[in-house]
Every structure is written in C-alpha cells, then in structure tokens.
Structure 1
Amino acid sequence: MNIVHYLDHSARVGPERPALYLGPDLHATYAELQHRVQALAGHLVHLGLAPGDRLAIYMKNRPAYLDSLLAAWYAGLVVVPINAKLHWCEVDFILENSGSRLLISDRSPEAPLPSSAERLDLDAPDFVPDGHPLGAPVDRAPSDAAWIFYTSGTTGRPKGATLSHGNLACMANCYLTNVDRVEAEHVLAHFAPLSHGSGIYLIPYLMRGCANLVPASAGFDESEFAELVNRHTGLAMFLAPTMIRRLVDHLRARGTNLNLDHLQAIVYGGGPMYERDLREALETFGPRLVQIYGQGESPMTISVMDRDAHSPYAASKAPSGPDSQSLVPVGRPHPQVEVSIRDGEGTPLPDGQEGEICVRGDIVMLGYWNNPEATSEALRDGWLRTGDIGRMEADGTLYLTDRVKDVIISGGTNIYPREVEEVILQHPAVHEVSVVGAPHPEWGEEVVAFVSLHRPLDPAELDQHCLAHMARFKRPKRYRILESLPKNAYGKIVKTELRQHLAQPQEESAS
C-alpha cells in the first residue's frame, strides 16, 4: 500500500478538518490539501516521471515542502530529502548518487550543476500544474522504496538509507503504539527540518487526521516557538536535544510564560540528551518529554523512553562522587523490533555488557542506495549493525554509550566519551562539550575535552571537578576552549573537525 493512502483516508472521513497551518493561520483543510497534492502529482506524471523515479526536495520548511513530499508519493515516486543547509556541491552529489530526475527547490544554484536533474520551483510566478490531477495514489508494494535519507557524511561521502512504504508504515504504527497518544485535535509543529525526522513523523499524524504546522520562519526560532505554543492547543513536535537546550536558555533568560496546557508533547532524539539538560527541560516543560532512539537506517523505532520513564529525572541531582555519573537511558526497545547487543564477530552478549547495538524487524531499511558494499557491511544475517555502542539491562532498559568509531582506547581500556561529557556538563560554567581521543605514544590514545563556556574558567578548576566525579583514568588529559563547537547541517557536533583542531597549537587555558 502506498503510504500516502493515509492522506486520502483522512480527507474522506474529515474533509473540513484542519490539515496544514502556516504559523498561527490555517493554510489548508484536508480536502484542500488533497486537491493540491492530486494536482501536483498529475503535473509530475505530465513531466514524464514514472513510479520508482527519484524526486529530490531542497528547501526550508514551508507548505510547498509538504505538497511536494505527498505529491511525489501520490505519483509513486521515491522522495530524496536534502537538508536546506547543505552546499550546492553536496546537493549535486546526492542528486547524482540517487539518480534524481527532478529537484523541487525555491533557490537556484550559483553555477550549472553536473547533475542532469531538472529543477522546479512551485512558488515561481508562472507555475501552474499541467496534466490531469490523479484521482488515487499510484499502487506501490510494501517493499517498494519511498524515502532515501542521506547520512550527514561526517566521515566520507553520505550514504542513502533507503526506506520502503512498508518500513514507513511500521514506523508510524510504532509511533502511535509506543511513543505518543495522538488524538485528532493535535497539531504537529515542524520546527526541525522536514528533510530529517520531522518529515516522516508527519505520517502517524496523517493516519489520525491531525494538522501539521509549518512555522512562518521556515525553521526553528525560540520566540516563535513560545508564540505558537500559546496560540495552538494540542501542540506536539520533534526536537533535537540541542534545540531543547536553546529553548530552555531562551525562556529562562526572558522569563517567557508558556501555556503548558497547550503543549502536548516534545519528542526528542537524534543526539545525546545529557542528564543536566534533561533535568532543566523537565523543570521548564513538565512531564511532556518522550525520547526516541533510532537512526536513518531505522528511524525512531529502536527504543522509546516514555513520560513515566522520565519522572526520576525531574528530581535527580548531579553526581556526587568518583565514577558516580550515570547515563540517561534511551528507553526500552519497541515491541515491534528485536534489539541485540553483540560483539565485533556478531555474537550476542549477556545483559549489562557493552557491545554494538543490532536491530532486526520490519522497520530496518532496504539498504544503502547504489552502495552494495556499505549495505553488506551494515546488514548482516538479517541484523542492522547500527555502529552504536550500548548495553541492555535485564529489564530491557537500553543505554547508548557512544559510536563505535568514537570509543577511546587508552592503555588497552575503553573510555566512552559520552560518560566523560556527562560529568563535564555538570559544571555550571560549561555550555557545551565534546570529548575525543588524541594519539599518545605510550597509551595509544589520551582523552581531550573541547568545551565552550558561559563564563571564563580555569582548566585546573574543571580538572578538579572531573577528578571529583569520575575515575582518574577517564578524566581528560587536556582541555581545549573554543568559542563554539563545530556542527553539521543537522546540528550535531562534528568530532572529525575537533580532531583536526588537535594538530593546531593552542594554549590550554580558558579565555
């Protein structure tokens, strides 16, 4: 079944229900959205696109994005979302690698692209859909590709994780069953990029006949967030942990009052949620946080930490003794998937032992587009090797320790940067931190911490803080102070750039 069937279903049972808001204002009912999607889908067929062809979307969050996404599925096409922050050179690689025939974008490249993809601007003054509107979605099998998500590419070229219509249907059902209580009057606000998780999280909301909301700013703005929460009831959203941190800082600095009765849920994921940030977020938003763990190869659906599981952190305190730090878990596996912790040879490990997190189930991707070597490396014996290090306790609670490639091995002992970062963030002067390993002639690697600060801080004071809260062998041997930490287009700290900083001389002091 074509995943866009959910749009037709909701338009049939509730044609006058709100389907799309632009900021505070209603932009389309379900009947109106269906009409626009059918007309654009007919235009795509008129252009000669056939089922299975790839269509790329490169724009910020806006109503035309949702029109393009849904119309592409309606016409049986495969959507290739491209983050609006990427450079045209990166865009061209994705177009070439995916073999996209059409790029829908509201901007023009600075120079002609080598890619053969044609460009379409839906907001161009002279654009009028040609052809006959499609009366029904093009039939697609559950195994047919629907969405190709390109990884952020921090280590080499991005890879296109290919998800099928069946994958996305499974994901939507996981969301409705385990993540959030979605009711028809709820509204999903897209503050995070539609090219990332937010774009496919709209599917369960289509299933329930809910409205989607695109901010007028076309992205994430802290003041706009507060205005929209106070304006709309039943508002839910997906946010990255870094976005939640920014919201907490903004609301506290300005003393903004939120009508929390209007806030249904903040679902977060896509990066580590540190204990300090979680406690402060719960103080600010109350028991409305839900954590999901997944990746582009298995979006949203590896594990979930529901509202009840967050309650202990509402009153938790900072670690108080050596090696007493704790990681925030990423919840328990969804019942619809299997999760196994395995060693490098693929052998399952006992409860409580750290190894690579592996996943099996109907949500796991088909493979990497046009990349059989990477596919065979990631999918082994039916299991997705996530590249994440973690452990699972006997009760099913899953802890995400780090990425395989980020583990620091010093003197033959594994040190997980995430654990060190948790402790450093407990210091009130620290704004952000990222820990990496640097080559060491005797120990193999040593721990180096990159930090940005709220105020000046002597590294010696930070070192004493670490010694008081973690085992000595884990503590950083060096501290590098940066004004801000480098991030990629999805807001994640780029450790490869930090490792390049290590080759640059710098006085190890706070300034």
Structure 2
Amino acid sequence: MLSIFDQGPPPPCPAPFNLAAHVMRHARRQPDKVALSVLRPDGAEEWSYARLEQAILGTATGLLQAGLVPGDIVLMRLGNTVEFPIAYLGAIAAGIVPVPTSSQLTEPETARMIADLSPAAILRAPDVACAPHPRQIGIEALNAMHALPPADYALGDPERLAYAVYTSGTSGKPRAVAHAHRAIWARQMMVEGWYGLTPEDRLCHAGAFNWTYTLGTGLMDPWAIGATALIPEPGTDIAALPGLLAAHDATLFAAAPGVFRKMLQGAGKLDLPALRHALCAGEKLPRALHESWTRATGTELYEAFGMSECSTFISSSPAHPARGEALGQPQVGRRIAILGLDGPVPQGQPGTIAVHRGDPGLMLGYLNAPDEAAARMQGDWFLTGDQGAMAIDGQITYLGRDDDMMNAGGYRVSPVEVEAALIRFPGIEQVGAAAVEVKPDTYIIAAFYTGPAELDAAALSTYVEANLARYKQPRAFVHLPALPTGGNGKLLRRALPAYFKAPQP
C-alpha cells in the first residue's frame, strides 16, 4: 500500500464568507459569555463576546474611515496586548489584509518587509521597532476605534486573500505566506483531530498575543467554537503558570515544548484539577518531556505538526492518541502523502511529507514570489521539506528536515538569513549558522565564522541585536580556521554542530 492518507474531504467552505465573521459567529448568541480572560496574579481582565465583537467591528469602521479600502495590505507592528488580535480581526472584517509580525523584529528587518509588501499603512505601537512609513496608525487611534459604530462584515469569495504571515524562506529571504479566508474554515479539522475542544472549555495558551501560534490555537479557534480563551498577561513568569492554570480553571493548556520543560524543572507533581489535557506544537516534542508531563500532572499531552503554509495537519488527539514515537495521524479531512522522487512511497518507507493542493488550509502562495511556491509543488502535492514515514494505520513518524532550516524555541529560522546579517560584520570572512544542543532537548542558534582573529563575542551580540529579531540571534559564536565544506566547496551546515562545545556546568 502507498503512503497516502485520505478519508474524504471536509465539508466545503460556504460562500459568501468572511474569516472574522466565522470567528465571531457565536457572539450574538452568547453576548455575555467571557470570550477572553487576560490572567493576572490578582485576577483577570475579562472581555465578553459582545465587547470583543464591538471592538473588532468598531476597528473595521475606523480603518475604513482612515481611508483604507478592501484589499489594502496593512503591516502590524503591535506589541503583546489584546489590541493585536482586535486589530487583526478588525482589518479582516473590513476586507483589509493584515500582516501580523513579531514585535522582536528590528528596524532593518521591517524595512525589507515594507519594500516587499508596499503596505497601505502600518498599525503601530510606539515601543515596537519599525522602519519609516508615511502612513502609520498608532495604538491610541486603534483603541479609540473600539467604540465606533460597528461595520458590517465584508463577505465575499472564500478564496480571496485574507491575511499573510512571514516565514523564513529556504533562500534566506523571509517570504509572506498568503492565506485565503477559507483558512479558518479548514482549522475546524483541528478541533477534533488535535484539540478535543468543546464550547465549555477554557483554553489557556502560554504564548504572546502577537505570535501566530497563540493567535490561532489560543484565540481564534476557541472563539470560533464558542469557548473561552485564557492568556497570561505580558511578562508572566513561566514558574507562575501552574498557579494561574489552577486558579482560573483551565481545562486545556497549549504551549511550545520549551514552556513545558521550564514548568517541570524542579517540580514534582503539578496540581491542575480542572485540566483535561495539554497541547504542544512549534517544534518536535521529545518523548522524555512528554512522559515527564504525564507523570507530573496525570494528564495527556497531544502533539501537532504543521507549518506557516498550512497550519497544523498531523496530530495526536484524545480520539486518536499517538502510538510509540509517532507524531499522530493526519486530521480527518486532510489528504497527506509521503513522497519519493516518483510519487508516494510504500507504507513504512521514508520520504517527504506532502499536503494535497486541494487542502482548504493550504496557502494561496507566497506574495511576490510565485516561482518559489511553484518550486515546492510535485504534481498535486505541496512539499513541506520535512521527512516522515507513514505506518499502515496512517500514523506518521517525524524524521527531521531535508534542508538546513533551524528550529530554536519554536521558531523556524533560515541559516541563510542569519549568515547574511553576520557576513557584514568587520573581521568575518565566512560564516555558517546551525542549531546546537546545549543540554538535553534544548537548542540555541550558534554562528561559526572564519577570519584573521577571534572576535569579541559581546560586540557580535550587540550587532545581531540591532539586525536580527531575538529569536533569530545566535547565542554563541565560534571562531574556526575553516568551515566544513563538501567536495564542491559548498558549506556543510549539518557538520557545524560537531564543532560546538557546550559550556560545562
């Protein structure tokens, strides 16, 4: 049998359609229910469904009154506050195309995005770095929009562009991944296939408002089913999370592996009486960490695999637990294959994980880079660049990347982008970047370079802080007489970690 998972397509997305209207579809039925609680040690800031929808549709009105029109692109440079998802959904409600970005990006990084996108406006918080742009809408103006008369949802073709998110391209140049309004409809396959989410749940996500993992799993998906989202206030220490989960009756908890690891450090048992289970994504979940969580909490931890181009589409869940070392299985409604050079490989054989072009969650393409999107297609299949093997029951075991993309702290980073920033530093002749393991299951980005002499690490750190977002910055710098290369002289990035020596405790 070939490595193809196909149990039939999901229901088609209705038309006309609007992503934000789908997210807020329960607001009129349950206006007084708490949609969002921003958790604090002494309580919570609560937003009802009615208040949340009013703020979203008021923002839609305000953006249109500011002169923006449907189809305009707006770059989001907002911080880790509730204004982020409100502005995001407000833009989409009006038919405007938001591009959410990490607040960690530096001014030079945003300058390249502005040149790439030509946005009509920037939605901007004053403390978030951004290159100059003639039309900026500040946070005070955005907050004032919450009270404006609500706009109508801009309904239309579910295939039209709704939003874009940046991802590290294999070329080293970040690409804007364009998604249709139907992307939120496709996320319903995750509700049963990963979350086990119900309208009665209180789902806490440990991430920031302005992280796309939080935006989807922590906010939009609970709202779309009528549940309550819980988000710790900015600056919450990870050590405080168990107490917040217990105090606010969290029934589901989502985070990246690094958060679970830190929560368990020095902990015996974690008393989380309301918790049904936890959800993990962002990077591969080590089996030992999974087992430690289960022992400490008495609850399961369900893992999901995905990417910016298609969100998560392989996962374990209460209905379909993972077996052994497997990630889980494709969510029902997905069509997933493991491909070799000639198409799907026999079950049990390794190959590239691929998503069928008909998946409603698959991107429209890369903005301004159609050739790069076309290069990732093999017939009707979109190649993820990740290797896996499919068992006879559809469960997929993850076997790693087939390129040099790095994953440190849950963010995928292109080594080419890091290298391009560092090669401009005086005294560096050649440079290579790789993720290195500093302790079991903990990775950082390290930069390996050649030059006449070893350079001051503090100066290098200061330089990358000004030129790369924090999650892209190398935490270690290693001077070498030469970088490892292959027979054709090409840098062997996979050989670099062997040259790294972790500091001794």
Give the TM-score category using the shorter length. Answer: 0.7 to 0.9
Summarize deviations over 1:142-198 as a string: whole Å, max 9, x none: 101122111145751111111111122111x11223222322232233322433222
1:332 aligns with 2:345: no
CA distance in 2, matches of 1:500, 1:145: 47
| Matched residue, 2:338 | 341
Deviations along 1:371-417, one digit per CA (max 9) or x if unpaired, are 1111111234331110111111111110111111149xxxxxxxxx9
- Looking at structure 1, the residues matched to 244 and 225 of structure 2 have their Cα atoms a distance apart, in angstroms, of 21
Alignment partner, residue 121 of structure 1: 138
- Mapped partners of 1:379, 1:179: distance in 2: 26
Query: Which residue among 145, 151, 161 is the counterpart of 1:145?
Result: 161
The within-5 A match list for 1:77-476 is 77-108=96-127, 113-116=131-134, 118-123=135-140, 128-129=144-145, 133-153=149-169, 156-171=172-187, 173-193=188-208, 194-201=210-217, 202-217=219-234, 221-249=237-265, 252=267, 258-301=270-313, 303-307=314-318, 328-343=325-340, 345-360=341-356, 361-406=359-404, 450-453=436-439
State the AA in 2 paired with 1:105: R
SS of equivalent residue, structure 1 residue 21: strand
In the TM superposition, what whole-angstrom CA distance separates every residue of 1:307-356 from its partner, at most 9, and x where no partner exists?
4765877xxxxxxxxxxxxxx3111111211111112x352211111111
Tell me how far 1:452 sits from its aligned partner: 2.0
Say if 1:113 and 1:86 are closer, same or farther in 2 by CA, change over 3 A: closer
CA distance in 2, matches of 1:263, 1:22: 18
Q: Secondary structure at the residue paired with 2:131? A: coil
| Distance in 2 of aligned mates of 1:355 and 1:234 | 39
Equivalent AA in structure 1 for residue 165 of structure 2: F
Query: Contact 1:152 / 1:489 at 8 angstroms: preserved in 2?
Result: no
Partner Cα separation in structure 1 for residue 85 and residue 330 of structure 2? 30
Task: Specify the code of the residue in structure 2 equivalent to 1:342.
Answer: L
CA–CA distance in 2 between the matches of 1:452 and 1:113?
A: 35
Paired residue total: 420
Structure 1 counterpart of 2:438, one-letter code: S
> Among residues 22, 25, 43, which one is paired with 1:9 in the alignment?
25
CA contact (8 A) 1:61 1:215 kept: no
2:352 is paired with a residue whose SS is: strand
Shift of 1:205: 1.2
Relative to 1, partners in 2 of residues 1:130 and 1:348: Cα closer, same or farther, differing over 3 Å?
closer
Q: Is the 8 A contact 1:154 1:494 kept in 2?
A: no
Change (3 A) 1:79 1:288: farther
Distance 2:470 2:388 in 1: 23
The percentage of aligned residue pairs carrying the same residue is 21
Q: Which runs of 4+ in 1 moved over 6 A?
A: 492-502, 504-507
- What's the TM-score once normalised by structure 1's chain length? 0.73
Looking at structure 1, the residues matched to 309 and 437 of structure 2 have their Cα atoms a distance apart, in angstroms, of 30
Q: Following the alignment from structure 1 to structure 2, what is the Cα–Cα distance between the partners of residues 449 and 35?
A: 44
Which stretch of the first structure deviates more once superposed, 3-12 or 62-71?
3-12
Look up the match of 1:466. Answer: none
**Once the two structures are superposed, what CA deviation does each residue of 1:233-279 show, in whole Å capped at 9, x if it has no partner?**
24434311122112211x51xx6x64322224321112111122221
Q: How does 1:18-57 map to 2 (within 5 A)?
A: 18-23=34-39, 24-57=43-76
Name 2:410's counterpart in structure 1: none
Q: 1:113 to 1:91 in 2, by over 3 A?
A: closer
CA contact (8 A) 2:71 2:97 kept: yes
Is the Cα–Cα contact under 8 Å of residues 55 and 145 in structure 2 kept in the other structure?
no
Provide the C-alpha distance between the structure 2 equivalents of 1:36 and 1:61, rounded to a whole number of angstroms: 17
Q: Report if the CA contact (8 A) 1:96-1:115 is conserved.
A: no
Query: Which whole-Å CA distance do the structure 1 matches of 2:319 and 2:482 have between them?
Result: 42
Q: 2: CA distance between counterparts of 1:372 and 1:263?
A: 44
Specify the code of the residue in structure 2 equivalent to 1:357: I
Q: Counterparts of 1:10 and 1:308 in 2: how far apart (Å)?
A: 25
Q: How big is the alpha-carbon RMSD for the aligned residues of Structure 1 and Structure 2?
A: 3.6
| Paired amino acid for 2:277 | A
Counterparts in 2 of 1:227 and 1:508: CA distance versus 1, 3 Å: closer
| TM-score normalised by structure 2 residue count | 0.74
Query: In the superposition, relative to structure 1, how do residues 66 and 205 fare at CA in structure 2: closer, same or farther (>3 Å)?
Result: same
Separation in 1, partners of 2:242, 2:223: 25
Conserved 8 A contact 2:352-2:384: yes
Deviation at 1:200, TM superposition (A): 1.9
CA gap 1:490/1:399 in 2 versus in 1, 3 angstroms: farther
